[in-house]
Every structure is written in C-alpha cells, then in structure tokens.
Structure 1
Amino acid sequence: MSRRILAALLLVAGVVLGTTAPAHAAASVSVSGPDGSASAAPDTATTVTVSGRGFTAIKAGFGGIYVAFGWVADPSRGTWRPSRGGITGEDYRYVPDTEDRENAGRLRYVAFPGSSTAAEANGGALSEAGDFRVQLTIPGARFTSTDRSGANVAVDCTEVQCGVITFGAHGVANADNETFTPVRFNAPASGTSPSSTTDEADAPQPSAATTPQPPGAQPVTTVPDGDIRLSIDAATSMAGRVMTFTAVGLRPGEQVLVRLDDGVAAAGPFTAGTSGDVAGMIELPGDLAAGTHELHLTAAASGRATTTNFAVRAGDTAGDAEVAPVASGSSDGGDIAGWIFLGASGTVLLAVLVWRLLAMRRTRTTGVAA
C-alpha cells in the first residue's frame, strides 16, 4: 500500500511542478512578396506582407515589437539579439524611418494588446495569442544605416544576407520576440529594366534637368527648389539616444548632411528619395545638456540649408528602469517564481500528509500485534 501511495505522490508532484513553467511556442515570421515568396526587387521598392505568430503578448504591457528590414550579424547563433547584448548599428542594422503613424512604411511598430502606447502603433496591436500582420516597404537591396557613432554605413544585401527583423520596441528586450527571417532579391528579367512596368513613352526622358542617379535607380526629374522642411521625432530626443528626423523639399537623389549645434555630432550623407524626402538618425551625446538645441541640414547638390530648434531631455535612469528587459518566457507578465514557489509548497504539504498517514497506519498495526 505504501508503495502505491508514494507513486501517487510522485505523480501529483510531477503534475504540480509541470504547471509552473508552461512551454512557450517559438515565435515565427513569414514574409510574402508580390510573387508570394520571401523576395523583393533589388533596385526598386517592394511592399511585402509580414505575418507573425506565437509572439509574447503582454496584456497592457509597455511597448511591443518593431518590425524592420535589415541585416544581423551571425543569424544562426543569434548573437545579434538585444536580449543577448546585441547593439543596434553594430550587431544589427535596419532601414531607418520615423516612428510616426504615417511614416514611409519601412519601420512598423506593433503594440502589446491594451498598451498605453497603442496610439503610436502604425502596425496595429498583437493579438492575445501573439499574432500580427503588417505591410512593410523594402527600399531595395541597398540601404544606408547609422552606426553607434552616428556615422553613415552602407549595407549591400547582394553581398550579405538581409531579411525581416523583429525585436522589442521602446528599449524593452524580450528574447521571445526577437526573430530574423531571410529575404532574397530577384534579379530583373533579361531585357527588362527595374521599371519595366512603366511604358517607355511614359518614362521620364533624360534632360539637362534630370538629377544623376546611382546605377540601377529609377530616373527622376528634378523639381524646382523650394523650402526644405526639417522635423525631428520628439519621442527620441533624449541625451544618449538615437534621434530620428525627416526632411522634405529636397531634390530627388540629393545627398544631405546633418549637424548638431556647432558640430558636437553629425551624420550622413543620406540620400533623398524620388519624392525629395529623406529619413535618418543621429546619435545625441550622453552628456548633451537638456534644453533647446539646433539641428542643421545641408543639401550637397543645391547647397541649400535649413535649421530647426528642438528640445532635448536629459537621460532618465528612472525611466529606463521602467522599461527593463522582460524575462524570457513570460507570456502574460506573471511572476514565474511565484508559481514555482506555489508548486513546491503544494508538493511539500502533500508529502507531509502522506507521511502522517503512513505513521498512523504503522501505529494501528503495532497496536493490533500487541
């Protein structure tokens, strides 16, 4: 009888402890281009559909996930992951874009369900099951990113493997939500150009007013010079952080440089798109004083320049504490340690009860024998 009781004890203990750390399905991402595969055009922008499943969805949690296109170092070992110490601009690089809801579609922010930041999400919200679906624009096989020092870094996806990257938004590192999905680039069909969908009669013709373009780029016609409008993303203007900015009113294909104040930091060159707009990033020094500062932009081809004033917030260590890395495997923000303690306590209590039952049985047996 005692053996059967002990076996039952072990079975119950296994059930109790088995519920303390539920298995978490690994997050997965699928990318679908115009032809249904994870591919894009090398010399023109391509809009792909990115679908995610099994991501950690923290109800009413701060932040969410970013969905971007770029390059990661050592994708097979995952050393690029922020949860493992990976640094943006060094261990992984992605196409820059603003975090506005109406950005260029090169960076998507998917918020946690019920998050206080849901209003900022241009990619909607994760479902409670951890699923999402967004449209992401891949500008081509080559893009310019910014390293940790604010210097311009060119990435050529025909020489390195690029793909769709997901990682925690607003500085919240979560290993469950870090993925890399390779994307390949299809070569243009023989005898066609990247802009073969446009009739030759409708295509812009070379003229003295046409701005020279990089090899493989679509020809665009220069528009008359107007006012350059430079704006910054106030949410990123904090000392020690990378601040994003946008500018419109440039010449298509024109390169621009940006400078902070009298040169305490600089970034570029950035290349304006076919609509004369550009998006970039510049790192604000950690010792930059809080208050009003100036961002200067200079266009190389036209020589035009503009300046905008903006406010910088001091680095907030208390705020950083609020977005501390989330423990891997936490699917609902609960305290896993508490569940483990509860399971262990239940097992101990069950063991004590069985021990008392066996002791009482031995006492009765001894009394009958006497």
Structure 2
Amino acid sequence: MNTSSFAVDSSRGKTVDAAKTFVLPDKCFQKHVGCAWGRGNKFTIYPRSQTVNKTPTDTANNKLLNIKQDILLFTPILRKLVNESNGTYLSLQKAAEAAKVSDNQVEFLKLSRQFRSIIRVCLENLQEAAAKAEGIEKNNLLSYITIFYSIECIWHLCEILYIDNIPGDIVLPYLLEWVRFHFPCHEQTAAQLLGACERGSEDHEDYWDTVVGMVVQGRVDVARALLKLHSAGESNEFKLVDNSLRSMPVYSVYGGISTGEFTISWKHWQAECRSKLSSRVLASQPKLELIMKIIMGDYSAFESIRSKYSSWFDILGGWVMFTAPWSRRHELGAAAAACAGMQATGRSHLDDMVRALLEGDLHQ
C-alpha cells in the first residue's frame, strides 16, 4: 500500500512527494484492495475483486486490517507528563505577563527547573516500565526514553545559556555541571576504585580511562586521588603530574582578580606544564604524558581520546576548561566546532541541536 502526501515547495516550484509505503502482511491483498473510513482516525482495508460472482470458498480466507493513528501522548506515562506539565506552563504564562513590568528571571529559572524535574520523573517511570515490557512495547518505551532524555538534555543547556543569571557570564562551571549530569562517564568506576582504596588499582581494566575521564570532566581532585592509588604513585613522574594538577589556576568571579590577571596566571601555568613535558621526564609513562597534553589543551590529545566517548559533548567541558576557562556564553561556538570536528561517526539530531545552541543559532 502506498500512501502519499504532496506539498509544493514555493521557493523552487517543485512538488515534493513525502510518501510512506507499507507492506500488507497477507496474500489476499496482493491484487486489489478497498478501504472504508471509520471513526476516530481509523480505517479498514479489505481485499476487493473486480469479479462480481464469488463462491463461498473465494472469500473464506479474506481478512480485514483495522488501521489507526498511534498518538504518542495517549500513552499513560506520557499522559501523566502532560497533566503535570500543564500547571508549570500556566504558571509560566503568568510569569511572562509579570515580566512585562518587572524583572522575573528568578521565576523563569524556577519554572524551568521544575519542568526538567517533571521530565526526569517521566524518564524514571519509562525506564521502570521498559524493564518489565517485552517485544514491540519494550522497543517503543526505549524509543520514548531516548526522545525525552534528549529533550531534558537540550532544555538544561537552554536553561544555562538563555535563562540562568550567571555571575560574570563565566559559563565553565555550569557547562561542566551539564556534562557531568548528562554524560556521567566513568563516575561509577571512580567511586568503586576510591571506595576500595587499594594500592595497585592500575590493574583494573578501566583505571586509566577513568583517570583521564575525571580530568576531562574537570574532576581534578578525583583524578589526583586515583593517581595516588597507582603502585608507582610516589614516584617523581606521578608527583610531577600531581603537582601540575594541584597548582592549576581556577577562576572565580568572587576571587578578587580580573579576567586579564587570571589569563596571565593561566598562561604561565600552562608554560610550566609545557616545559615539564618537553623535558621528556614523562617519556616512560605515556599515560601521564597524555594527561599533561590534555591539561595543556592539546587538540591531538583530545582527538586521541574521542573514540572512548559516545559523543563530543563528553569532552566539551574539558576542552573549554583547558583552552579558555574564562569563556563567556557567546564564545562557546568555537569550542563546539573544535569538539564536533573530532566526531568519528555521523551526526545525530542531538549533535546538530547542541551545536546550534552553543553557536547561538536558535532558528536552526
């Protein structure tokens, strides 16, 4: 069966065929079919012959197919999401009216976080239902999880970039929070290793990936603690890297220094790291060399670890942290382009949306 909808592209004067083809699952539909519309966006398909005279045996094996439109938001769990979100949107309309005469940014932020929490509860309910379901129902639920996970992820980023009032517009702490929350790579392994607190933890198959992952996510203290669990943690090479991580300048709006002063301090620290690396002291420890290259903002180092992560978002916070930690929201487009350029596979819709947001292209 071929159902087509046609639209005219006014800019090009061409007719666009957006046809969808469905294969009817029975031999009785191979020649001719008829269709009868029912109530509620339903219709029935049945075998139809041009021959008027039929014997009972001719029609004995005929079947009817009842087809209806499946509306996503009629699913009970998602219906609950709609009902709970309704109150938030009504409050948002009132806040928008109040914002015409006074600053209402705090209320907007509160409502945004409230809506994200509603989505997260919905995700938990979908995950519980998917764990009990099977077959097509399970696949549908997993699809819903992917959709609403992406919605919450994008909404959170919009909240950071366009709603939250960030002190000094220094976005790095908020960007790192977003990455850690939505892409908690290696977090569980780090907790297990630190919980065991055993010397010789490098025997764990994910030890080095976890250490590097903590550095990339800006969890420098966790990375230092993990390095101390290495059997060679007291060696000069490990102490050198630990000292570099410990002395890394961290900018704070309330720290009493200007962005310019911090930039000078930062570049001096990176020059020291570069000097240590060029001295070849770490030649016998390639993993430590990699960490030093990462904190120096070396593009090839980030590119070499890109395949360890499911998307370029995972390394975005680390790239900003080790290349331009003073970045403001409108300056994130360059960081997005650099990290997206490391993408080894095809892009997803989520990739395109995140990059458009970081570039300030809301229309895209």
TM tier, shorter chain? under 0.3
Q: TM-score, normalised by structure 1?
A: 0.20
Q: TM-score, normalised by structure 2?
A: 0.20
Q: Which has the higher strand share?
A: 1
Q: Which has the higher contact order (CA 8 A, sep 6+)?
A: 1
